[in-house]
Structure 1
Amino acid sequence: MRESAGTAQRENGTAWARVFAVEPPRPKVVVKADLLPALTVLSMVGLLGIPIGWIWSMLAPPQRMRVVSADRDPVPLQLESWHRFDDLAIFLLLGFGAGLLAGIAVWLLRERRGPVILLAAITGSVFAAWLGMRMGIAFAGGRYTITDAPAIGDVVVKGPVLESGWALLAQPLGTALAYGTLAAWNGRDDLGRRLG
């Protein structure tokens, strides 16, 4: 009987200890120490736009057009205008894939995990998508230049184009999705910044 009373008292004491336990303070967001690494992340992710633009210029299909008169622009052949969508879709897929890879790579910077680096990676992805659009169109324009003046009835090849600004959203979306998924999966208050 005394044993059970002592056991009940100990259990009751541990229950009160759990209620009044002092939790360690939550880690705060580190801003000042992460600013220089964030600038590095922004520039490195932003430079991804150059290879994305080059790969897009190699993969995107050109548009074949017929010259109908000297004073009018060439007219696309039948079904060739659909390549404008193909060009956009290829760029979106390349950007989304590069964004996923950038988000995973930035997450692997364990000592710098947090919202400052995430915002830098997303901003760098927006810049990379913009740079990829500009460089891709420039690379494609150099690849599909018309050297001789075409005659009426000739079929010329026009380089791929990106006509929608929505193409800028795929890469930042991929970066935020990858980083956010890994942060949610982590489940630690400090996102595993401390190496101990």
Structure 2
Amino acid sequence: MRHVRGNLATVVVTVLVLALLGVVAGYVWSVLAPATRYVIFEGTRQPVDPETQSLIEADGWFAVVTGAFGLASGIAGYVLSRRHPPVEMLVGLAAGGLLAGYVALTVGTSAKGTVQAAGPGGFTTTTSLGVTAYGVLFAWPLLSTAVFWVVEFAVSYRQREG
């Protein structure tokens, strides 16, 4: 029973630490990514510039920032789990990475804020930050677990050769 509690504690602590890192990642993303300007008229929201690249840039910066945090957390997770079986750490990295990505998205969109201004003719402009390609939310857990397994493979391969 004590072994199960220790394994569960490893998962829970990993998830909580990654969620806290998600707050940091959200602020970093909000600083790096451009906000998109919208026009709101009669309840519909459209980009001010229909050919804007800011939506794609925001998605790209989110993937880069959370991917970098995922790489770092995967390496740190491997180093910290060397004395224990890796399954608990991998579960923590996957679940914590998903939660951290969601936290980063929430914090980043809140940190950049929404600015609204009324214009002539009932137009309202608003500036906000968000993602349009929700697949980028998987960057953190995917890269953290992948780098964990790559390092594990490389180390175990060397041990078998030597």
Indicate the TM-score class for this superposition, using the shorter chain for normalisation.
Answer: 0.7 to 0.9
Partner of 1:7: none
Partner of 2:145: 176
Query: Which ranges of structure 2 fall in alignment gaps of 5 or more residues?
Result: 158-162
For residues 90 and 36 of structure 2, the distance between their equivalents in structure 1, rounded to whole angstroms, comes to: 38
**Partner amino acid, structure 1, of 2:35:** P
Partner of 1:136: 108
Partner of 2:58: 87
Q: Quick check: 1:52–1:94 contact (8 Å CA) kept in 2? A: yes
**Partner amino acid, structure 2, of 1:35:** L
Partner of 1:145: 115
Partner of 1:43: 16
Aligned runs of 1:102-181 on 2, under 5 Å? 102-109=73-80, 110-141=82-113, 144-146=114-116, 148-152=117-121, 156-181=125-150
1:54 to 2, 5, 27: 27
Q: What percent of counterpart residues are identical?
A: 21
> Following TM superposition, by how much is the alpha carbon of 1:157 offset from its aligned partner in structure 2, in angstroms?
5.0
Partner of 2:160: none
For residues 112 and 85 of structure 2, the distance between their equivalents in structure 1, rounded to whole angstroms, comes to: 37
For residues 43 and 105 of structure 2, the distance between their equivalents in structure 1, rounded to whole angstroms, comes to: 27
Q: Quick check: 2:10–2:92 contact (8 Å CA) kept in 1? A: no
Q: Deviations over 1:140-164 (max 9, x none)?
A: 22xx422x42224989451122123
For residues 130 and 11 of structure 2, the distance between their equivalents in structure 1, rounded to whole angstroms, comes to: 32
For residues 133 and 74 of structure 1, the distance between their equivalents in structure 2, rounded to whole angstroms, comes to: 20
Q: Deviations over 1:80-117 (max 9, x none)?
A: 53211111111011111100000011111132341111
Helix, strand or coil: the match of 1:64?
strand
For residues 41 and 119 of structure 1, the distance between their equivalents in structure 2, rounded to whole angstroms, comes to: 9
> Following TM superposition, by how much is the alpha carbon of 1:37 offset from its aligned partner in structure 2, in angstroms?
2.2
Query: Which ranges of structure 1 fall in alignment gaps of 5 or more residues?
Result: 1-30, 189-196
Q: Deviations over 1:11-67 (max 9, x none)?
A: xxxxxxxxxxxxxxxxxxxx6243212221121112211111111111111223456
Q: Quick check: 2:105–2:130 contact (8 Å CA) kept in 1? A: no
Q: Which has the higher strand share?
A: 2
Q: Name which of structure 1's ranges 159-168 and 76-85 shifts more when overlaid on structure 2.
A: 76-85
> Following TM superposition, by how much is the alpha carbon of 1:123 offset from its aligned partner in structure 2, in angstroms?
0.8
Q: Quick check: 2:10–2:88 contact (8 Å CA) kept in 1? A: no
For residues 166 and 47 of structure 1, the distance between their equivalents in structure 2, rounded to whole angstroms, comes to: 21
Q: TM-score, normalized by length of structure 2?
A: 0.81
Figure out how many residues of one structure are paired with residues of the other and give that number.
Answer: 154
